[in-house]
Amino acid sequence: MSTALTFGIEEEYLVLDAVTRRPSPVGARSVEHLSDVDFHREFSAAQAEFATPVCRDLAAAGTELVRGRTTLAEATRDRGALVIASGTPPLGRPGPPPVTDEPRYRRMAHRFGMLTEDQGVCGCHVHVGVPDVDQAIRVSNHIRPWLPALLLLGANSPFFDGRDTRHASWRTVVWSRWPVVGVPPHFRDAQEYHDLVGRLLDAEVVTDAGMIYWYVRPSRHVPTVEVRVADVATTVPEALLQAALTRALVSVALASDHRPDVPDALLRAACAQAALVGPDGRCLDPFSGTATGGWKLVDRLVRHVSPALRAAGDVDFVENQMSWLRAHGGGAARQRRVLLERGGLTAVVDHLAAATTGTEPLW
Protein backbone atom coordinates (compact mmCIF):
# COMPACT_ATOMS: atom_id res chain seq x y z
CA MET A 1 0.00 0.00 0.00
CA SER A 2 2.99 2.29 -0.39
CA THR A 3 1.78 3.60 -3.77
CA ALA A 4 -1.75 4.93 -4.11
CA LEU A 5 -3.81 3.23 -6.78
CA THR A 6 -5.15 5.15 -9.74
CA PHE A 7 -8.88 5.75 -9.90
CA GLY A 8 -11.66 7.50 -11.77
CA ILE A 9 -15.21 8.60 -10.98
CA GLU A 10 -18.31 8.40 -13.16
CA GLU A 11 -21.30 10.50 -12.16
CA GLU A 12 -24.81 10.35 -13.61
CA TYR A 13 -26.97 13.48 -13.38
CA LEU A 14 -30.61 14.34 -13.92
CA VAL A 15 -31.52 17.09 -16.35
CA LEU A 16 -34.71 18.93 -15.41
CA ASP A 17 -36.87 21.53 -17.09
CA ALA A 18 -36.05 24.87 -15.45
CA VAL A 19 -39.75 25.80 -15.20
CA THR A 20 -41.47 22.57 -14.17
CA ARG A 21 -38.44 21.10 -12.33
CA ARG A 22 -39.33 17.74 -13.89
CA PRO A 23 -37.06 15.47 -15.99
CA SER A 24 -36.43 16.83 -19.48
CA PRO A 25 -35.20 14.95 -22.58
CA VAL A 26 -32.70 17.69 -23.38
CA GLY A 27 -30.11 15.78 -21.34
CA ALA A 28 -29.15 13.56 -24.26
CA ARG A 29 -29.17 16.49 -26.70
CA SER A 30 -26.96 18.57 -24.42
CA VAL A 31 -24.32 15.84 -24.30
CA GLU A 32 -24.42 15.46 -28.08
CA HIS A 33 -23.38 19.10 -28.45
CA LEU A 34 -20.43 18.76 -26.07
CA SER A 35 -17.18 17.91 -27.83
CA ASP A 36 -15.58 16.65 -24.61
CA VAL A 37 -15.22 12.85 -24.74
CA ASP A 38 -15.75 12.63 -20.97
CA PHE A 39 -19.50 13.31 -21.34
CA HIS A 40 -21.87 10.49 -22.25
CA ARG A 41 -25.53 9.90 -22.94
CA GLU A 42 -27.43 7.57 -20.61
CA PHE A 43 -30.44 5.24 -20.84
CA SER A 44 -32.95 8.01 -20.19
CA ALA A 45 -32.82 11.10 -22.36
CA ALA A 46 -33.25 13.07 -19.12
CA GLN A 47 -29.82 11.96 -17.92
CA ALA A 48 -26.21 12.79 -18.65
CA GLU A 49 -22.95 11.26 -17.45
CA PHE A 50 -19.49 12.66 -16.81
CA ALA A 51 -16.41 10.49 -16.30
CA THR A 52 -13.14 11.84 -14.98
CA PRO A 53 -9.87 10.88 -16.61
CA VAL A 54 -7.58 8.54 -14.67
CA CYS A 55 -6.62 10.32 -11.42
CA ARG A 56 -3.90 9.77 -8.85
CA ASP A 57 -5.16 12.00 -6.06
CA LEU A 58 -8.39 13.47 -4.72
CA ALA A 59 -7.48 17.04 -5.63
CA ALA A 60 -7.22 16.19 -9.32
CA ALA A 61 -10.47 14.22 -9.23
CA GLY A 62 -12.23 17.11 -7.49
CA THR A 63 -11.07 19.56 -10.15
CA GLU A 64 -12.40 17.27 -12.86
CA LEU A 65 -15.78 16.80 -11.18
CA VAL A 66 -16.22 20.55 -10.80
CA ARG A 67 -15.37 20.96 -14.49
CA GLY A 68 -17.85 18.29 -15.53
CA ARG A 69 -20.69 19.61 -13.42
CA THR A 70 -20.27 23.26 -14.39
CA THR A 71 -19.82 22.49 -18.09
CA LEU A 72 -22.97 20.39 -18.18
CA ALA A 73 -24.92 22.99 -16.19
CA GLU A 74 -23.97 25.66 -18.71
CA ALA A 75 -24.87 23.44 -21.67
CA THR A 76 -28.29 22.58 -20.30
CA ARG A 77 -29.02 26.15 -19.18
CA ASP A 78 -28.89 27.19 -22.83
CA ARG A 79 -31.71 24.71 -23.45
CA GLY A 80 -33.95 25.88 -20.62
CA ALA A 81 -32.89 23.15 -18.21
CA LEU A 82 -30.88 22.61 -15.06
CA VAL A 83 -28.74 19.79 -13.66
CA ILE A 84 -29.10 18.11 -10.29
CA ALA A 85 -26.98 15.45 -8.62
CA SER A 86 -29.63 13.31 -6.95
CA GLY A 87 -30.35 9.61 -7.25
CA THR A 88 -33.98 10.26 -8.22
CA PRO A 89 -35.96 13.36 -9.26
CA PRO A 90 -37.97 14.94 -6.43
CA LEU A 91 -40.64 15.89 -8.96
CA GLY A 92 -41.76 13.74 -11.87
CA ARG A 93 -40.60 10.38 -13.10
CA PRO A 94 -37.14 9.97 -14.61
CA GLY A 95 -37.39 7.12 -17.04
CA PRO A 96 -38.58 6.34 -20.56
CA PRO A 97 -40.28 7.34 -22.66
CA PRO A 98 -38.23 8.65 -24.25
CA VAL A 99 -35.30 6.25 -24.36
CA THR A 100 -32.06 7.77 -25.59
CA ASP A 101 -31.86 7.02 -29.31
CA GLU A 102 -29.12 4.40 -29.33
CA PRO A 103 -29.46 0.78 -30.55
CA ARG A 104 -28.43 -0.71 -27.20
CA TYR A 105 -30.96 1.28 -25.21
CA ARG A 106 -33.73 0.54 -27.73
CA ARG A 107 -32.99 -3.19 -27.43
CA MET A 108 -33.15 -2.99 -23.65
CA ALA A 109 -36.45 -1.11 -23.70
CA HIS A 110 -37.95 -3.60 -26.16
CA ARG A 111 -36.69 -6.62 -24.21
CA PHE A 112 -37.66 -5.56 -20.70
CA GLY A 113 -40.79 -3.50 -21.30
CA MET A 114 -42.27 -1.76 -18.30
CA LEU A 115 -39.28 -2.69 -16.13
CA THR A 116 -37.50 0.20 -17.84
CA GLU A 117 -40.14 2.82 -17.09
CA ASP A 118 -38.36 4.53 -14.17
CA GLN A 119 -34.77 3.56 -14.93
CA GLY A 120 -33.49 7.09 -15.23
CA VAL A 121 -31.90 7.00 -11.78
CA CYS A 122 -28.40 8.24 -11.08
CA GLY A 123 -25.41 6.65 -9.37
CA CYS A 124 -21.79 7.30 -8.54
CA HIS A 125 -19.36 4.72 -9.93
CA VAL A 126 -15.76 4.53 -8.71
CA HIS A 127 -13.17 2.72 -10.83
CA VAL A 128 -9.89 1.66 -9.20
CA GLY A 129 -6.98 0.32 -11.20
CA VAL A 130 -6.14 -3.37 -10.73
CA PRO A 131 -3.74 -5.62 -12.67
CA ASP A 132 -6.27 -8.05 -14.14
CA VAL A 133 -9.70 -9.65 -13.79
CA ASP A 134 -8.45 -12.22 -11.28
CA GLN A 135 -7.42 -9.40 -8.98
CA ALA A 136 -10.71 -7.61 -9.60
CA ILE A 137 -12.58 -10.72 -8.45
CA ARG A 138 -10.31 -10.99 -5.41
CA VAL A 139 -11.18 -7.38 -4.57
CA SER A 140 -14.89 -7.96 -5.14
CA ASN A 141 -14.91 -10.85 -2.66
CA HIS A 142 -13.21 -8.66 -0.05
CA ILE A 143 -15.42 -5.61 -0.59
CA ARG A 144 -18.78 -7.41 -0.46
CA PRO A 145 -19.35 -7.07 3.33
CA TRP A 146 -18.53 -3.35 3.20
CA LEU A 147 -21.13 -2.50 0.56
CA PRO A 148 -23.84 -1.58 3.12
CA ALA A 149 -21.51 1.01 4.69
CA LEU A 150 -20.74 2.59 1.31
CA LEU A 151 -24.45 2.63 0.55
CA LEU A 152 -25.21 4.36 3.85
CA LEU A 153 -22.82 7.18 2.99
CA GLY A 154 -24.12 7.40 -0.57
CA ALA A 155 -27.88 7.43 0.13
CA ASN A 156 -29.19 10.52 -1.69
CA SER A 157 -32.65 9.85 -3.15
CA PRO A 158 -35.49 10.24 -0.63
CA PHE A 159 -38.07 11.78 -3.00
CA PHE A 160 -39.65 10.41 -6.15
CA ASP A 161 -42.45 11.76 -8.33
CA GLY A 162 -43.56 14.30 -5.73
CA ARG A 163 -43.58 11.92 -2.78
CA ASP A 164 -41.36 11.08 0.17
CA THR A 165 -40.50 7.42 -0.35
CA ARG A 166 -39.55 6.92 3.34
CA HIS A 167 -36.26 5.56 2.00
CA ALA A 168 -32.87 7.22 2.10
CA SER A 169 -32.00 5.67 -1.29
CA TRP A 170 -35.05 5.04 -3.45
CA ARG A 171 -32.69 4.70 -6.39
CA THR A 172 -31.50 1.43 -4.88
CA VAL A 173 -35.07 0.11 -4.90
CA VAL A 174 -35.74 1.19 -8.50
CA TRP A 175 -32.41 -0.18 -9.71
CA SER A 176 -33.05 -3.54 -8.01
CA ARG A 177 -35.65 -4.41 -10.66
CA TRP A 178 -33.01 -5.37 -13.22
CA PRO A 179 -32.36 -9.13 -13.50
CA VAL A 180 -28.67 -9.05 -12.49
CA VAL A 181 -28.10 -6.43 -9.83
CA GLY A 182 -27.05 -5.94 -6.21
CA VAL A 183 -24.47 -7.83 -4.18
CA PRO A 184 -22.26 -9.98 -6.44
CA PRO A 185 -21.72 -13.66 -5.68
CA HIS A 186 -18.53 -14.80 -3.97
CA PHE A 187 -16.46 -16.16 -6.87
CA ARG A 188 -13.59 -18.62 -6.68
CA ASP A 189 -11.75 -16.90 -9.52
CA ALA A 190 -12.15 -14.97 -12.76
CA GLN A 191 -13.03 -18.11 -14.69
CA GLU A 192 -16.06 -18.77 -12.51
CA TYR A 193 -17.11 -15.16 -13.03
CA HIS A 194 -16.78 -15.40 -16.81
CA ASP A 195 -18.62 -18.73 -16.87
CA LEU A 196 -21.60 -17.27 -15.03
CA VAL A 197 -21.72 -14.15 -17.21
CA GLY A 198 -21.59 -16.39 -20.28
CA ARG A 199 -24.54 -18.44 -19.04
CA LEU A 200 -26.57 -15.28 -18.40
CA LEU A 201 -25.84 -14.03 -21.91
CA ASP A 202 -26.61 -17.38 -23.55
CA ALA A 203 -29.96 -17.56 -21.75
CA GLU A 204 -30.71 -13.92 -22.70
CA VAL A 205 -31.17 -12.98 -19.06
CA VAL A 206 -29.32 -9.82 -20.06
CA THR A 207 -28.88 -8.35 -23.54
CA ASP A 208 -25.14 -7.68 -23.13
CA ALA A 209 -22.38 -7.85 -20.53
CA GLY A 210 -22.91 -4.20 -19.68
CA MET A 211 -26.13 -5.24 -17.92
CA ILE A 212 -24.20 -7.07 -15.22
CA TYR A 213 -25.23 -4.46 -12.65
CA TRP A 214 -23.65 -5.93 -9.52
CA TYR A 215 -22.51 -3.37 -6.96
CA VAL A 216 -18.92 -4.50 -7.62
CA ARG A 217 -17.74 -5.81 -10.96
CA PRO A 218 -14.66 -5.98 -13.19
CA SER A 219 -14.86 -3.24 -15.77
CA ARG A 220 -15.55 -4.37 -19.32
CA HIS A 221 -13.41 -1.76 -21.07
CA VAL A 222 -10.64 -0.62 -18.71
CA PRO A 223 -8.35 -2.53 -16.25
CA THR A 224 -10.29 -1.58 -13.14
CA VAL A 225 -12.68 -2.89 -10.56
CA GLU A 226 -15.85 -0.79 -10.52
CA VAL A 227 -17.83 -0.10 -7.34
CA ARG A 228 -21.32 1.24 -8.13
CA VAL A 229 -23.38 1.01 -4.94
CA ALA A 230 -23.83 4.73 -4.12
CA ASP A 231 -26.31 7.29 -5.39
CA VAL A 232 -24.74 10.22 -7.16
CA ALA A 233 -23.59 12.66 -4.47
CA THR A 234 -25.02 16.16 -4.27
CA THR A 235 -21.62 17.69 -3.54
CA VAL A 236 -18.17 17.06 -4.97
CA PRO A 237 -16.61 16.37 -1.53
CA GLU A 238 -19.15 13.58 -0.92
CA ALA A 239 -18.24 12.00 -4.25
CA LEU A 240 -14.57 12.24 -3.32
CA LEU A 241 -15.31 10.55 0.01
CA GLN A 242 -16.80 7.58 -1.86
CA ALA A 243 -13.70 7.49 -4.06
CA ALA A 244 -11.26 7.71 -1.15
CA LEU A 245 -12.93 4.91 0.80
CA THR A 246 -13.37 2.74 -2.28
CA ARG A 247 -9.74 3.12 -3.33
CA ALA A 248 -8.65 2.32 0.21
CA LEU A 249 -10.86 -0.78 0.28
CA VAL A 250 -9.29 -1.99 -2.95
CA SER A 251 -5.79 -1.36 -1.56
CA VAL A 252 -6.54 -3.33 1.59
CA ALA A 253 -8.09 -6.15 -0.44
CA LEU A 254 -5.05 -6.48 -2.70
CA ALA A 255 -2.72 -6.61 0.31
CA SER A 256 -4.77 -9.06 2.38
CA ASP A 257 -5.12 -12.82 2.28
CA HIS A 258 -8.31 -12.70 4.34
CA ARG A 259 -11.45 -13.31 2.29
CA PRO A 260 -14.58 -12.73 4.39
CA ASP A 261 -17.44 -14.87 3.13
CA VAL A 262 -20.63 -13.30 4.45
CA PRO A 263 -23.87 -15.05 3.38
CA ASP A 264 -25.55 -13.47 0.37
CA ALA A 265 -28.93 -13.30 2.10
CA LEU A 266 -27.46 -11.35 5.00
CA LEU A 267 -25.68 -8.93 2.68
CA ARG A 268 -28.80 -8.32 0.60
CA ALA A 269 -30.79 -7.61 3.75
CA ALA A 270 -28.09 -5.27 5.08
CA CYS A 271 -28.05 -3.31 1.81
CA ALA A 272 -31.85 -3.08 1.76
CA GLN A 273 -31.83 -1.78 5.32
CA ALA A 274 -29.10 0.74 4.51
CA ALA A 275 -31.13 2.02 1.56
CA LEU A 276 -34.16 2.40 3.80
CA VAL A 277 -32.74 4.16 6.85
CA GLY A 278 -29.47 5.88 5.86
CA PRO A 279 -26.56 6.47 8.26
CA ASP A 280 -28.73 7.89 11.06
CA GLY A 281 -30.83 4.74 11.31
CA ARG A 282 -30.62 1.29 12.86
CA CYS A 283 -28.84 -1.03 10.44
CA LEU A 284 -27.77 -4.64 10.07
CA ASP A 285 -24.11 -5.46 10.64
CA PRO A 286 -23.35 -8.04 7.93
CA PHE A 287 -20.37 -9.41 9.85
CA SER A 288 -22.23 -10.24 13.08
CA GLY A 289 -25.79 -10.44 11.75
CA THR A 290 -26.92 -8.14 14.57
CA ALA A 291 -28.41 -4.64 14.70
CA THR A 292 -26.07 -1.66 14.83
CA GLY A 293 -26.13 2.07 14.25
CA GLY A 294 -25.44 3.27 10.74
CA TRP A 295 -22.59 5.54 11.80
CA LYS A 296 -21.03 2.69 13.77
CA LEU A 297 -20.94 0.60 10.61
CA VAL A 298 -19.38 3.48 8.70
CA ASP A 299 -16.80 4.02 11.45
CA ARG A 300 -15.90 0.35 11.26
CA LEU A 301 -15.25 0.76 7.54
CA VAL A 302 -13.00 3.77 8.11
CA ARG A 303 -10.98 1.88 10.73
CA HIS A 304 -10.65 -1.07 8.38
CA VAL A 305 -9.11 1.03 5.61
CA SER A 306 -7.15 3.49 7.75
CA PRO A 307 -3.71 2.09 6.73
CA ALA A 308 -4.53 2.61 3.06
CA LEU A 309 -5.95 6.09 3.73
CA ARG A 310 -2.70 7.05 5.46
CA ALA A 311 -0.61 5.66 2.62
CA ALA A 312 -2.60 7.68 0.08
CA GLY A 313 -2.52 10.86 2.14
CA ASP A 314 -6.33 10.89 2.41
CA VAL A 315 -6.78 10.65 6.19
CA ASP A 316 -7.34 14.34 6.86
CA PHE A 317 -9.83 14.71 4.04
CA VAL A 318 -11.82 11.66 5.12
CA GLU A 319 -11.89 12.70 8.77
CA ASN A 320 -12.99 16.25 7.91
CA GLN A 321 -15.69 15.09 5.50
CA MET A 322 -16.99 12.51 7.97
CA SER A 323 -17.22 15.21 10.63
CA TRP A 324 -19.12 17.45 8.22
CA LEU A 325 -21.58 14.69 7.38
CA ARG A 326 -22.18 13.87 11.03
CA ALA A 327 -22.94 17.52 11.71
CA HIS A 328 -25.10 18.22 8.65
CA GLY A 329 -26.47 14.79 7.67
CA GLY A 330 -26.20 12.68 4.57
CA GLY A 331 -27.71 13.61 1.23
CA ALA A 332 -31.18 12.23 1.96
CA ALA A 333 -31.37 13.90 5.37
CA ARG A 334 -30.35 17.26 3.91
CA GLN A 335 -32.95 17.04 1.14
CA ARG A 336 -35.63 16.43 3.75
CA ARG A 337 -34.37 19.33 5.85
CA VAL A 338 -34.66 21.68 2.87
CA LEU A 339 -38.26 20.55 2.41
CA LEU A 340 -38.99 21.22 6.07
CA GLU A 341 -37.25 24.58 6.22
CA ARG A 342 -38.19 26.04 2.83
CA GLY A 343 -41.41 24.19 2.01
CA GLY A 344 -42.17 22.42 -1.26
CA LEU A 345 -40.18 20.09 -3.46
CA THR A 346 -39.49 22.90 -5.90
CA ALA A 347 -37.24 24.36 -3.20
CA VAL A 348 -35.50 20.99 -2.87
CA VAL A 349 -34.81 20.93 -6.62
CA ASP A 350 -33.44 24.47 -6.57
CA HIS A 351 -31.22 23.62 -3.60
CA LEU A 352 -29.90 20.54 -5.40
CA ALA A 353 -29.18 22.49 -8.58
CA ALA A 354 -27.19 25.10 -6.66
CA ALA A 355 -25.37 22.55 -4.49
CA THR A 356 -24.48 20.39 -7.49
CA THR A 357 -22.33 23.15 -8.97
CA GLY A 358 -21.18 24.46 -5.60
CA THR A 359 -22.95 27.80 -5.92
CA GLU A 360 -24.90 27.50 -2.67
CA PRO A 361 -23.41 27.27 0.84
CA LEU A 362 -24.39 24.05 2.61
CA TRP A 363 -25.28 25.18 6.12
How do the pLDDT tens digits run along the chain, 363 residues long?
A: 447 899 999 999 999 999 999 999 887 777 777 767 688 888 888 999 999 999 999 999 999 999 999 999 999 998 999 999 999 999 998 876 677 888 998 899 889 998 988 889 999 999 999 999 999 999 999 999 999 999 999 999 999 999 999 999 999 999 999 999 999 999 999 999 999 999 999 999 999 999 999 999 999 888 999 999 999 999 999 999 999 999 999 999 999 887 777 999 999 999 999 999 999 999 999 999 999 999 999 999 999 999 999 999 999 999 999 999 999 999 999 999 999 999 999 999 999 999 999 865 554
| H helix count then E strand count, the chain | 13, 13
Q: What is the CATH number of domain 7-356?
A: 3.30.590.20
**Nearest of 313, 11, 301, 10 to residue 143 by alpha carbon:** 301
DSSP-derived secondary structure for 93-124: --SPSSBPS-HHHHHHHHHHGGGGTT----EE
**Nearest of 122, 89, 149 to residue 278 by alpha carbon:** 149
**Element containing residue 226 per DSSP (H, E):** strand 224-231
Supply the pTM of this predicted model.
0.95
**Nearest of 56, 69, 36, 84 to residue 313 by alpha carbon:** 56
Domain boundaries, the chain: 7-356
